[in-house]
Chains A and B, each alone.
Chain A
């Protein structure tokens, strides 16, 4: 009996040591601290623009430079107008791209501003919602990112690559009438896709008015990079999205930059 009691005590002590000691990787509770971890998923939606109010490409070499940079990627190319579609398609047809068209403002009976989104396979649905003379176009962006696990001190304990099929809408706002209409447009966007995220460009002096419209419609607007004429903006429901930052990178062969809009999804 004495031996049994000693053994029991030893076993109990050993159990306590095992339960209390060491780092807890990925589960809450137990251990020396609380062992609480948080997990976040974040990735980049990429937009290429000059942010100066001008079309993105003016020569075939420009389009080729974009194709070289963007091969295999999903990117929003901000300002590829009707007059540049010939060059854009020439670069597209040998680049593995399938273009989604985002029509912009009609500037004459034969010319439209616009943007394109580069996908890497044929797509079944790309529709647009009007906004006071321009359009916001839906597409599914296979956002590449990381799922990161943080410990209670904010240190990264685990990280893995991920891809998230994001419901993205994109467009360009360069007139008051377009921004005035955007509150309704945003409401219609989130009615269609409650977890949508809008990534686009807005004329610098219209950003505050845009933010007010989105707030009134129940969303939140984030200001990304401010260019010489246009600002990158994100508008999304906070229930599903958080904006982190925009990182910019030069693109070889063209005077435009790639803006990686880093967002967290929930």
Chain B
């Protein structure tokens, strides 16, 4: 009897631990989707369909998705809110990070989550366009070298990740798309401002950040490297975790070519919160 009870207790402990571990294991997926235009622009002429993109995502079944180059609700998209459209098909919550208004809608980034969003916030990076107010892209000198080409932004959501039937832990997810032109100092500034806005140097919750940071140079991203762990990178698309030592990657990160869907591969990694 004693042996039986001992065995049951050990089993229960193992099962409970396995549940807790899997509940705090998250797969994060990042994709610069070229505003669903496709490389050959056929997306633009066929109503910006998302079906093929959804199939790629559903094959991975991520908990969190960060999207870059995400135009939404614009005239050419028939004013359709694309973050909600994708979220509807995946059964996820969404938050749209607006970089600037564009053609009746907006341009920016998006975060989708399987888990409820309890907080959401975003901010535009500092930026001045040589054409003045109301201009948000294709910057020229002397402002290009100082602010980059386009108005960029960073945003986050805090999500409730269940750890049991009645309790959740909060995880922060940050997304940004750094600028693609000008000197590397622009991207370093974007990294600095991301750290400041999302409190990455002392995050209130375990944090993951993903996005097209438009550099492969980790020294450019020193503000992120200094306070977080580099989970995975493919070309200019990155995943970071914060604070240092809080998370560990489960297995390898993955990059998959998008083919015609985008000039960026989509990347994903599974991470787990380390036990206290």
A-to-B contact residues, CB < 8 Å: 82, 85-90, 92-101, 103, 106, 108-110, 112, 114, 122-128, 135, 137
CB of A106 within 8 A of CB of B168, answer yes
CB of B87 within 8 A of CB of A89, answer yes
CB distance from B247 to the nearest CB of A (A): 21
CB distance from A61 to the nearest CB of B (A): 15
Scan residues 150-190 of chain B and give those whose CB is less than 8 A from a CB of chain A.
160, 162, 164-168
Chain A residues within 8 Å of B89, by CB:
86
CB of B88 within 8 A of CB of A89, answer yes
Interface size, chain B (Cβ < 8 Å): 35
**Of B6-14, B93-101, B230-238, B267-275, which binds chain A?**
B93-101
CB of B94 within 8 A of CB of A89, answer yes
Known contacts A93-B81, A103-B116: A125-B121 contact under CB 8 Å: yes
A106–B139 Cα gap in the complex (Å)?
A: 47
CB of A127 within 8 A of CB of B81, answer no
A82–B114 Cα gap in the complex (Å)?
A: 9
CB of B118 within 8 A of CB of A106, answer no
A97 is contacted by which of B81, B82, B160, B168 (Cβ under 8 Å)?
B81
A155–B14 Cα gap in the complex (Å)?
A: 74
* Nearest opposing residue in chain A for B82, CB measure: A93
Scan residues 38-91 of chain B and give those whose CB is less than 8 A from a CB of chain A.
73, 79-82, 84-85, 87-89, 91
Known contacts A82-B116, A112-B160: A127-B121 contact under CB 8 Å: yes
A86 is contacted by which of B79, B88, B117, B164 (Cβ under 8 Å)?
B88
Q: Which 5 A-B pairs have the closest CB atoms?
A: A89-B88, A93-B84, A122-B98, A93-B85, A103-B116
CB distance from B54 to the nearest CB of A (A): 13
A90 is contacted by which of B79, B88, B164 (Cβ under 8 Å)?
B88
Chain A residues within 8 Å of B34, by CB:
none
Known contacts A85-B92, A86-B91, A89-B87: A122-B162 contact under CB 8 Å: no
Cβ of B228 under 8 Å from chain A: no
CB of B118 within 8 A of CB of A128, answer yes
Cβ of B242 under 8 Å from chain A: no
CB of B162 within 8 A of CB of A109, answer yes
Chain B residues within 8 Å of A86, by CB:
88-89, 91
CB distance from A242 to the nearest CB of B (A): 30
Chain B residues within 8 Å of A88, by CB:
88
CB of B81 within 8 A of CB of A124, answer no
Chain A residues within 8 Å of B254, by CB:
none
B121 is contacted by which of A92, A95, A109, A124 (Cβ under 8 Å)?
A124
A168–B167 Cα gap in the complex (Å)?
A: 27
CB of A124 within 8 A of CB of B122, answer yes
CB of B81 within 8 A of CB of A100, answer no
* Nearest opposing residue in chain B for A90, CB measure: B88
CB of B120 within 8 A of CB of A127, answer yes
Scan residues 221-241 of chain B and give those whose CB is less than 8 A from a CB of chain A.
none
